[in-house]
Structures are given as C-alpha cells and as structure tokens.
Amino acid sequence: MSELLVKNACVIDPLRGINAETMDIAIRDGRIVEEVSGAAEVIDARGMLTMPGGVDSHTHICGTKVNFGRYMSPEDMRAGRTPRRGPMHATSGYSVPTTYGNSYRYSVMGYTTLLEGAMAPLEARHTHEEFIYTPLQDTMANTLFDGNWAIMEAIRDGDTKRVAAIIAWTLRAVKGFGVKLTNPGGTEAWQWGKNVSCIRDPVPYFEVTPAEIIRSIVEANELLHLPHSVHLHCNNLGTPGNYTCTLGSFGLIPDLNPKRQTLYATHVQYHAYGGSGWKDFCSKSEPIANFVNMRPQIVIDMGQVMFGRTTTMTADGPMEFNLYRLHHDKWSNHDVELETGSGIIPVVYRRKNLVNSIMWAIGLELALLTKSPWQCLLTTDNPNGAPFVKYPEIIALLMSKRYRDAEFATVHPDTGSRVPLPAIERELDWYEIAVMTRAGQAKALGIQEIGKGHLGPGAYADVAVYPIRIDDVDPSVDYQKVIEAFGQTEYTIKRGRVVARRGECVVDGSNATFWVKPRVSEAYDMGKDPDFIEKFDRYYTVRMRNYPVQEEYLNRNRCIETEAEI
C-alpha cells in the first residue's frame, strides 16, 4: 500500500464545483481517497494552485503520420534535444518530439492524459507501439472512419445499424477509443486526387455526401453508447469562406445525449474563415461562437495558432496538398486503403503575414466569445497550430487583455480591420482555465465517470501542483508569472506517484491505454458477416486475422465496455 497526502493545496476542481478552496488531497494506491493514515508521505503544497492532471482531448503524438513528421524532418529533431539523464531517456524534436520528448514535456506541464487525434485502423498497431514509449500519460486513440468503404456502403443503403456494427467491430479490433471523422468523404475522394468542397458534394463512386456520413455516424455513435461523441474535423479546412460549411455541419447535429455533447468539433479556428479569397480573408469567429452558444450539443476546441515554426499533419490529405502548393516546401502524403489518408508539411506562422495574424486572432476569439468554457477547450491541434509547449502562453493570452493588446501591436497592421479581437474585453479566470484544460476535456471525452479530470474520491490520483498562489497574482497584469507557472509544475502526480518535479521527470513511468469495446448482438457481429468478410479478403492487403491489434500491444490497459442498442 502506498499513501500520499498533498496538504494545503489551493484546489480548483470544476467537475466537483470546487473553486480555489484550501484542502488536502489524500491518495492511496493510485486513487484519490477520503483520508490516509499517519504513515502517508506528505507533500506540502503551501497554497499552490492544484488541479486535476491536464487532459489533452486533441493532440497528435503517436502513430504513422506523427512518426513520418519526425522521419522527414531532421531539422526539427535538431531543434530540441536533451541527453539521457537519470530516469529520462534522450529526446529530440521541437514541433514533433520523439515519444519520450512528448511525454516528458507534457508531464512537466502537468498533463497526465492524452488523446491521439487520428489513428488509421490499418496502422493502429503503430500508434499503440508508440503509446508504450509515452510512459507518463494515459493514452487513447481516436479512430478514423471518414473514408471507410464498408461504412459508406452501409450509409448508401440507409442502414445506420450496420454503420454502428462496423464501428463496433473496428474499435474493438484496433483498440480504439473514439470515432474520428477527418474531412468526411474528402479523404476517399483524395485517393483519386479529388476532394469534396462541402457537405453536399457526393463522394466519387460511393455517392454519399459528407452530410450523410456525419449524420449517420453521429447516430451510430449514440447507438453504441460510446463514452465520447463523434469527433469531427469539418470539410473544407483552411479555405477562405469556409465558416458557412462549418455552420452547415453543426446544423446537422441533433441533441442526442444528456450526459455530454453529441458532436466534438476540433480545431475550429481552421474552420472559422470568412472572405471569398486570401485578399479579403477575415475572421468569422462570431457567427461560429454564437451558433455554439445556442447549441449545448456541440463542444469545440480552439486549434490555436501561435507564431513560429511547426509541422502540420492531418488525415486530411487534400488539404495538405493545397497547403503544399501555397508553401512550396516539402510535402508528404500517405493514403490508407479502404479507410483514410494523411498529409504532412512543415510551416512557419509569421506575425508579419496578414493571414497568419488573423488565424492567431480567431483561435483566441473562439475561446473568448464562447460563453461556456465547457464548450470551447484549449488546444493547438498539436502540433498543427503550434507545439503544445505553447499552452502556457495561450492561457496567459486568454487571462489578460493587456497581454493580448501587447501582442496585437506586433502582428500585421491590417489585422485590426479583419478581426473582432481588439474589441473583446473578456479575461478568463483560473476556474475557466481549469475547465478548458482538464475538467471540460474529461467531460467531453466521457471519461470523468471512470475517474479522470477530477479529484473526487475514487478518481485516478492524477494531480498537477503549479508554483503559483492565485491570491497573490493578478493574471491580467502579471501574465508572465502565469506563463512560468503553467510551463512547469512544482509536482506532477500520476496515478499516485510524483512523476515530475520542477522540470525534471523523476520516474520511468508506465502508462495505461483506454479503449472501448461495444457489445453488440450476434446479428451485428461483423466478424461473422459474410459480405464484410468477403470484401475484406478481396480488397485489403492484410488478412482479416492479422488485422486486430493483439493484447501484446497494450501495457496496463483499461477496456471500457458499452452495451450497444444493436
């Protein structure tokens, strides 16, 4: 039995409604408990800001395309390297760090749970292999269904139950967590070098539209009672005027689940653009945020852009090709048979560039104009908008109008006429930041009930203690202190053990992978469906028996079983 007591902590724990109360946190054998014995190890938090461990509900850290981002970018690897030291292995990389690099840097910032945003089912084994080498966070993977042939055929036949059955079989096979749609229909069209422009364009050959894919998969997701909602990367990312497409997609979504949202729309910054071209490009954060404010069934994340060099990577292959034609730097693409695709290019976001400056403003506007912090979560779509090490700066920007103004003075001078940002006075408070970086993310992922994102008895003892006393600091003025505090915890505690202390990781660590196994009736077991098996055998290049990810790839893992309605 191991016991730990974090004393005198200034706790913000939004899922329990606790806002800056001084209290002790008792931990036994990796879980939060009511109290511990006198023999417990004691950490005196001395009034420091203490919150549940950070949760990133959309980040790219492990798997085929992430690793290809490293593989093709020795210049990025050189831009961030540390030697083996104590229990820490050597790390490389700035925007796409090695697995250890990701894990250590997230841990130092207090993050204990990460969701890989896009896993191609055929290559799932790769994602799980990298999870094993991401030792200081629990991990889970969104699984891509945007260009899945069997699903598009079922949608064409109007058979939503079959759609659900295919999702159930696949999640179970690849040890996936949630359902991800990246440019639905567009990734299939891209395997012919084409794309879909918005939700009403039919996908070549399959003759279903993105709107039908989104609607049908949202319904299927709820039939399976998955913890997370459908996680959508809308069509038409990154193009001027795309906000109408985004609003059209949001408008498809009914309110189907009383516990959480019905749609998680990711990196919405990239989908909130006005204008008819790059010349009149402008922010449309207001109509998007207004729409979200009226729709409790929708949760978005920011996808904030920060200035500097990074690497963009997404399953949205056609978008990356368009970006390549703008930037003329190197370009990688990787289409995956019968399922999806991906693309990668390096980019630099510049303050002197008007479009980049507007993008930077839009992300902040979405967070400031969305009334409830539970509906707009803090992300950069790491590393697409910026590497996650920029989170502390984003937190400070959201908490300080003065900081925003100071930064705004350095961006392209025409930005002011294209964005509402300078007129927004709102400054988020500590509680709202806690929602946007852990509680809201856990709730949106549907993992609060299994003990993530809060510090209630029975929860996983994942705790972040930040070296800042919130009564002594006015974030709207002392934003530099906010950046420093969120950049490096005093203690990061993971499953009841101190894993990072003042910038150093102090244990080797061992993560857990969360995955979902929906239980379906015999009639909907795709593993026994003759048509599904026949098509699999004929058109995949991997045998059906060799496709599922074996138990060997899961360390310590937690399987979340659900009772499906099919």
Partner 1 sequence: MIVKDAVCPFCGCLCDDIEVEVEGGRVVAVTNACELGTTKFMGEKRMKNPILRDGNQWKEITCDEAVRYAADMLLDAERPLLYGWSGTHGEAQCVGVHMAELVRGVIDNTSSVCHGPSILAIQEVGHPGCTLGVVKNRADLVIYWGSNPIDAHPRHLSRYTRYAEGFFLENAFRDRKVIVVDVRRTETAEIADEFVQIKPGGDYAVLSALRAIVQGKTETIPRTVAGVTREQLVRVANLCKSAKFGAVYFGLGLTMTRGKYKNIRNAIELVSELSRHTKFTISAMRGHYNVYGSNEVNTWMTGYPFGIDFSRGIAFYNPGETTAVDILARKECDAALIVGSDPAAHFPRRCLEHLSEIPVVQLDPYPNATTAFCNVQIPVAVTGIDAEGTAYRMDGVPIRTRKVLSSDYLSDREVLLQMYTLMQEAKGQ
Binding site for partner 1 (CB under 8 A): 62, 64, 67-68, 70-74, 77, 81-85, 89-93, 97-101, 122-123, 125-126, 129-130, 133, 191-193, 205, 321, 324-325, 330-338, 341, 344-345, 538-543, 545-546, 550, 552
> Can you list the positions of beta strands (E) in 229-302?
230-233, 263-265, 273-274, 282-283, 298-301
How near is the Cβ of 544 to partner 1 at its closest, in Å? 8
Complex with partner 1: residue 126 or 180, whichever CB lies closer: 126
How far CA 68 is from CA of 25, 71, 88, 97, 178, in Å, comes to: 42, 5, 24, 12, 23
Q: Which residue has the tokens 């990367």?
A: 233
Q: What is the DSSP string of 8-22?
A: EEEEEEGGGTEEEEE
How near is the Cβ of 540 to partner 1 at its closest, in Å? 6
Here the tokens at position 116 are 């890989």
How near is the Cβ of 122 to partner 1 at its closest, in Å? 6
Complex with partner 1: residue 305 or 549, whichever CB lies closer: 549
Complex with partner 1: residue 155 or 302, whichever CB lies closer: 155
Helix (H), strand (E) at residue 513? strand 512-519
Complex with partner 1: residue 57 or 99, whichever CB lies closer: 99
Here the tokens at position 387 are 């590497």
How near is the Cβ of 492 to partner 1 at its closest, in Å? 22
Complex with partner 1: residue 389 or 468, whichever CB lies closer: 389
Q: Residue 263 pairs with which residues in a beta bridge?
A: 230, 298
Here the tokens at position 134 are 């991401």
Cα–Cα distance, 168 to 440 (Å, whole number) = 26
Complex with partner 1: residue 279 or 325, whichever CB lies closer: 325
How near is the Cβ of 311 to partner 1 at its closest, in Å? 11
Complex with partner 1: residue 61 or 428, whichever CB lies closer: 61
Here the tokens at position 547 are 């496709």
Bond before 383 cis per omega within 30 degrees: yes
Cα–Cα distance, 184 to 118 (Å, whole number) = 13
Buried b (16+ CB within 10 A) or exposed e, 85-118: eeebbebbbbbbbbbbbbbbbbbbbbbbbbbbbb
Q: Which residue has the tokens 């490096």?
A: 488
How near is the Cβ of 141 to partner 1 at its closest, in Å? 14
**HSE-CB of 147 using CA atoms within 13 angstroms:** 32
- For residue 7, which phi and psi values (nearest 5 degrees)? -95, 155
How near is the Cβ of 420 to partner 1 at its closest, in Å? 37
Complex with partner 1: residue 422 or 548, whichever CB lies closer: 548
DSSP 177: -
How near is the Cβ of 487 to partner 1 at its closest, in Å? 22
Complex with partner 1: residue 80 or 440, whichever CB lies closer: 80
How near is the Cβ of 134 to partner 1 at its closest, in Å? 9
Residue type, 161: K
Complex with partner 1: residue 317 or 385, whichever CB lies closer: 317
How near is the Cβ of 325 to partner 1 at its closest, in Å? 8
Residue type, 514: F
Here the tokens at position 22 are 């001084």
How near is the Cβ of 368 to partner 1 at its closest, in Å? 36
Complex with partner 1: residue 469 or 535, whichever CB lies closer: 535
3-state secondary structure of 201: coil
Q: What angle do CA 512, 514, 519 make, to 5 degrees?
A: 140
